[in-house]
């Protein structure tokens, strides 16, 4: 896993900086509460939501157990429909494949449909290093790109920005990316959307290559599915002559009947819509087989592993691969609401990021090791997850893995000392007596790195007389 987040500080340090930003907290609170309330109403409309949720979980679990079989079935179906399938073990390989495919077309520009997988691998940066410009076409992604910013939410990557900030970004940065914003642009949503539409339109019409992800891939027919709200995805998927889709291997579902379940779960959980405005489906080159007129004349599917196989090998952690990226868990998380998405050091913020990122990247950095602790374990994320990922269970499991890898030196020393005392009863009794006799000298607050722990609680007082001495005196 790569991307633009390498070298991030651990979550507590990054979150502390975010917590001092009053405007960020106000933006996040307003946005997450609005979306979560709408989602709750949309979900309450369905009597069979619990059954749908159970079905979604069961389909994903079944597919993950037989992932090898369904991926081969998908590959054969895509190839039979005129598409080419490429396998990428990691981000570097995926970026190389995409860059080579774009070079082969002779083009130096691509338009992009919003895609978490391409953000995960840092595709835009990799293409830029090869002299290829990638234009984001989703409105929120456009705001992030123009602002030279990082996404902070899965569904609404610019959730940390308010209307006034967006107007400022458009006014200052649009010209450098092709078409300036109108001189009299205000921060009304309609005007901002119109400015983005005009800015993007000529890119849609000019681009010969598009890059997308996919929400789902149907193994039985080799069909890819993109679910979106703005129509930019439909433009990218149909206008350019070459389409390259980079998709995580866990996005496959066996059949169209399975897809039906997720097309009910996803819109209500993400945008709180009964049905999303645009659902684009394509199978290889489709019936036109690349004839002039309809759709791309070349289609490439890049199947991305990038840590997913390792996550699949973990019996508790693998449930994170059920995720359909709806964002519902972010919108109810009290930690995300206060810390914001950038503190998670990954394109996957919030509760799902706290369990997915350390598994994809392999707990190799301070930020990865800190993510499983970025939660109060309140369980709100599990309650809203449409595929019933038990995020608190995975968080606790990953905390065990972090602890097994070492933990803090002081924590290790304390555990070693406790281990020695519990192994040697005479030493434990002597330590208890010493602690009882010196209790008046004990501080009520821990010094040094332990201070934060006692900022909100008192240390329990050691009894004057150890229980074993009391028992010896009183048992007769």
Enter the tokens of residue 327: 């964002």
3 dihedral zone (left: phi>0; alpha: psi -120 to 50; beta):
left
**Interface segment toward ligand SF4; rule CB under 6 A; list 24-32, 113-121, 319-327, 438-446:** 319-327
| Residue 347 binds ligand SF4 (CB under 6 A) | no
Q: Binding of ligand SF4 at residue 398 (CB under 6 A)?
A: no
Torsion of CA 303, 61, 319, 339, to 10 degrees: 80
CA 110-116-118 angle, 5° bins: 40
Beta-sheet pairing, 298-304 with 209-212: unpaired
Least spacing, CB of residue 420 vs ligand SF4, in Å: 42
Read off the tokens for 433. Answer: 């007596």
Minimum distance between the CB of residue 175 and ligand SF4, rounded to whole angstroms?
36
C-alpha 140/C-alpha 40 separation (Å) is: 23
Residue matched to tokens 């289609």: 299
Sole window of 197-205, 300-308, 325-333, 369-377 interacting with ligand SF4 (rule: CB under 6 A): 325-333
The CA dihedral of 351, 355, 361, 365, to the nearest 10 degrees, is 80
* Cα distance between residue 29 and residue 376, in whole Å: 18
Q: Among the candidate windows 136-144, 172-180, 318-326, 422-430, which touches ligand SF4 by CB under 6 A?
A: 318-326
Is the separation of the CB atoms in 103 and 120 below 8 Å? no
Nearer to ligand SF4, 3 or 353 (CB): 353
Place of tokens 């400015």: 195
Rounded to whole angstroms, how far apart are CA atoms 343 and 10? 8
250-279 residues near ligand SF4, rule: CB under 6 A: 269
Instruction: Single out the residue of 358, 345, 341 nearest to residue 400, CA to CA.
Output: 358
Given the complex with ligand SF4, which of 296 and 340 has the nearer CB atom? 340
Shortest separation between residue 355's beta carbon and ligand SF4, angstroms = 8
Pairing status of strand 252-253 against strand 242-248: unpaired
Question: Which stretch, 303-311, 317-325, 397-405, 446-454, contacts ligand SF4 (CB under 6 A)?
Answer: 317-325
Residue 371 binds to ligand SF4 (criterion: CB under 6 A):
no
Q: Answer yes or no whether residue 328 interacts with ligand SF4 by CB under 6 A.
A: yes
Identify the residue among 28, 116, 324, 380 touching ligand SF4 (CB under 6 A): 324
- Pick from 352, 371, 374, 394: which binds ligand SF4 (CB under 6 A)? 352
Rounded CA-CA distance 380/331 in Å is 10
* 132 makes contact with ligand SF4 (CB under 6 A): no
Contact criterion met (CB below 8 Å) for 282 and 298: no
Pick the closer one to ligand SF4 by CB: 75 or 390: 390
- The reply on whether position 386 binds ligand SF4 by CB under 6 A is yes
Distance in Å from the first CA to the final CA of the chain: 67
Whose Cβ is closer to ligand SF4: residue 3's or residue 392's? 392
Q: Of 35 and 77, which CB lies nearer to ligand SF4 in the complex structure?
A: 35
Among residues 117, 209, 326, 363, the one that binds ligand SF4 under rule CB under 6 A: 326
Q: How far is the CB of 463 from ligand SF4 (least distance, A)?
A: 46
d(CA 48, CA 71): 30
Q: Least distance in Å: CB of 381 to ligand SF4?
A: 6
Number of residues counted as binding ligand SF4 (CB under 6 A)? 14
**C-beta of 254 vs 351, nearer to ligand SF4:** 351
Question: Minimum Å distance from CB 316 to ligand SF4?
Answer: 15
Check residue 327 for interaction with ligand SF4 (CB under 6 A).
yes
Q: Does 329 bind ligand SF4 (CB under 6 A)?
A: yes
Read off φ and ψ for residue 226, nearest 5 degrees. -120, 125
Under the criterion CB under 6 A, does residue 43 sit at the interface with ligand SF4? no
Name the minimum Å distance from CB 167 to ligand SF4.
Answer: 29
Residue numbers 145-184 binding ligand SF4 by CB under 6 A: none
Nearest to 282, CA basis, from 405, 419, 133, 113: 113
Q: Is 325 in the site for ligand SF4 (CB under 6 A)?
A: yes
* CA–CA distance, 456 with 198 (Å, rounded to integer): 53
Backbone angles phi, psi at 122, to 5 degrees: 65, 40
Please report, as ranges, the residues that interact with ligand SF4 according to CB under 6 A. Answer: 269, 323-329, 352, 384-387, 389
């Amino acid at each position: 896993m790569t991307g633009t987040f390498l070298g991030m500080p651990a979550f507590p340090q990054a979150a502390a900086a975010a917590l001092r930003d009053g405007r960020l907290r106000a933006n996040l609170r307003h946005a997450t509460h609005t979306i979560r309330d709408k989602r709750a109403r949309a979900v309450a409309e369905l009597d069979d939501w619990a059954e749908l949720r159970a079905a979604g979980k069961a389909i994903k679990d079944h597919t993950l157990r037989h992932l090898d079989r369904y991926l081969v079935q998908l590959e054969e179906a895509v190839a039979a429909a005129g598409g080419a399938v490429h396998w990428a073990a990691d981000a570097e390989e995926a970026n190389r494949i995409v860059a080579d495919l774009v070079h082969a077309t002779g083009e130096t520009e691509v338009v992009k449909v919003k895609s978490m997988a391409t953000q995960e691998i840092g595709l835009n940066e990799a293409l830029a290093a090869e002299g290829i410009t990638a234009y984001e076409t989703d409105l929120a992604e456009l705001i992030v790109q123009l602002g030279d910013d990082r996404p902070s939410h899965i569904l609404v990557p610019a959730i940390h920005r308010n209307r006034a900030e967006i107007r400022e970004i458009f006014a200052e940065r649009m010209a450098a990316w092709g078409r300036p914003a109108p001189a009299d642009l205000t921060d009304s949503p309609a005007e901002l959307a119109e400015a983005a539409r005009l800015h993007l339109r000529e890119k849609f019409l000019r681009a010969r290559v598009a890059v997308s992800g996919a929400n789902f891939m149907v193994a039985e027919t080799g069909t890819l599915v993109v679910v979106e709200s703005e129509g930019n995805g439909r433009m990218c998927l149909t206008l350019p002559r070459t389409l390259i889709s980079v998709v995580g291997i866990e996005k496959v579902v066996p059949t169209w009947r399975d897809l039906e379940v997720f097309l009910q779960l996803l819109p209500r959980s993400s945008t709180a819509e009964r049905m999303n405005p645009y659902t684009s489906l394509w199978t290889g080159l489709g019936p036109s087989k690349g004839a002039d007129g309809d759709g791309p004349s070349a289609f490439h599917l890049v199947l991305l592993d990038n840590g997913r196989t390792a996550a699949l090998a973990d019996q508790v952690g693998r449930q994170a691969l059920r995720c359909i990226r709806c964002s519902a868990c972010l919108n109810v998380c009290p930690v995300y609401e206060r810390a914001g998405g950038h503190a998670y050091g990954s394109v996957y913020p919030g509760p799902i990021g706290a369990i997915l990122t350390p598994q994809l990247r392999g707990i190799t950095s301070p930020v990865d090791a800190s993510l499983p602790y970025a939660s109060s374990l309140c369980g709100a994320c599990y309650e809203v997850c449409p595929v019933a990922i038990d995020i608190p269970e995975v968080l606790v499991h990953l905390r065990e893995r972090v602890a097994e890898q070492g933990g803090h030196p002081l924590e290790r020393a304390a555990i070693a000392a406790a281990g020695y005392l519990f192994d040697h009863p005479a030493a434990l009794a002597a330590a208890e007596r010493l602690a009882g006799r010196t209790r008046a000298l004990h501080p009520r607050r821990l010094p040094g790195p332990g201070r934060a722990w006692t900022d909100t609680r008192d240390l329990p007082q050691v009894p004057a007389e150890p229980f074993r001495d009391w028992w010896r005196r009183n048992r007769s």
